Structure 1
Amino acid sequence: MPDASIIPVFDPAGPYAGSITTLSWVLLAMAAGVLTIVLAALWVALFGSMPFKGRLGGTKAIWIGGIVFPVIVLSLLLVYGLSLTRNLTAPLPAEAMRVRITGEMWWWRVAYLDGQGRATMLDANELHIPAGRPVVLELESSDVIHSFWVPRLSGKLDMVPGRRNVLPIQADKPGVFGGQCAEYCGGPHALMGFVVIAHDPVEFEAMMAARRISRPQPAVRGAALFRSTGCAACHRIAGTDANGTAGPDLTHVASRRSLGAGILPNNRGTLMGWIGDSQSIKPGNRMPPYKMLSAAELGTLADYLQAQK
């Protein structure tokens, strides 16, 4: 699978991103055409003959170039753009998969929803979807304005506190697609990444079924240390007494591709480094450093978290 940290914005992988990409190319071509006309007019104004300069500065040229041409071009572009991107606002089937994504400082809370809008499974910083099917995202924010953007799958939409916006996405084929917060939200905004993983539909159903019945691994030492260090006050692991909601849900943390909202590969070493001093990796994030822990204790915590799949 490709590196999700590389985001080719003009390489759509689904119908919603496809219409936006087409419109983007049309806008770029139009901008190039207008720039060419303006440069040509500038050349005539500077180096052209007096008769041409006179025509360029005449009333007729001003009416055509300053009013008629922009009105016609922008009106055509408006109609074309609305018709091209109407799939972004078209009603989706009631049975379409729905996921609520909440922007946090500076990570993403993910909740898979049932037909009544209730959260059935929690995750963070990555989303799993079936390929070839539309998925409805309910976008919210718990603090400041964020903007959800996975360029290859759909458009960009703001996440506004107190408001729920809806965005459809779809991946035509299985793959890994990187995303990013596209609205400056303070602090480590640039390190607030996101990953969407599209699976073959059969594999997706099998994976979700396995996650629903999975249980936390009973690593006694790691679980005790997880509680005693205060991790359970901020993080949740389903099936345990860790029910914190301030930080990302860690029930399936070992299955994630990355740590810190897309900035580190997920392995034992990076887990130890993140727990020990996440501030040196992602300055300004809300997790305090745990420099008081020994290397052995960090390893114990990392082993416990790596068992949570």
Structure 2
Amino acid sequence: MNLYNVDDERLTNLNITSHVIMNIEYFWTDERVRRLCEAIQNLDDIQINLDLFQPRSCTQITDQCFQYFGNLMPTNLLELSLNNWGNQNYNISDIAFIHLGKAFKNLKILRLNLQQWGHKGCKISNIGVVQLFKSLPQQIQELELNLNKLGYRNQNITGHSFVAMGDFIENLQNLKNLTLNLADWGNDYNRSLELFLNEDLQYLIEKIFNLDLEKLHLDLTGLGMNGSKITEESAFFLLQHLQQTDIYDLNIILQGWICNVEVKNQILKMTKEKQQQKKYMYQLLAIKSLDVSTQDRILEEIFAKL
């Protein structure tokens, strides 16, 4: 279901009884979020895209609305995209993460987009990050977290958040697919860059690679930029783990890092090789439905390229 320019009456009278995808550009308030959540609270799978193009569209959203999101009880999938909701919105604090995490407890798949949250003066801190990761259920199999800019110009978020992430991720023994976007945390050429240290990031990296993952997409754009206390030492540390991993779907982004070019090139090369292997694997799966002679011909072509 796609809803555009939805009014209050239509939102109140929503009657949804099956899997739902919503794309709504709307001037949101806590009350409107309550009405939406009441309409979808009994679904097993929930996908909602409520991205906003302008931060001022969410000035009447507070921590209260996340209590309504927390009342959702999906038993399999929750995909919630809230781009810009916390961008310069000082009505949102760590309490939002406490409320939101209540919706996670039965999930096998969580895709959460909080891009463009956080800014100088915002009320989100390490406590909110800890609460977010603490809420992740042990049975979760697929996790996508877009936290791009959550730590941007925010001196309340430090390397302690990386350590907390590692501690809670370590417990997710059923996790197979992990996508984690930490781009531009501290990326502002001021003192917040000094709040993230090599040992903090390396702790998180080690915990991630201890998992038996099939897919890892990790965006660390800007963390190792000029002026940061995260240096090429962490890039070397990451490369060492990449050389030992069997993860077949791999994508690592170190854009903006000031480090040895050869190291960055090796990481890029390894990710490309893994992507190529994944492509061949999918080809192998696809040809199973073909006749035997065609299978043999395609297999010869694939193995010739390996």
- Tell me the TM-score normalised to structure 2 length: 0.24
Q: Larger strand proportion, structure 1 or 2? A: 1
- The TM-score with structure 1 as length reference comes to 0.24
Q: Which has the higher contact order (CA 8 A, sep 6+)?
A: 1
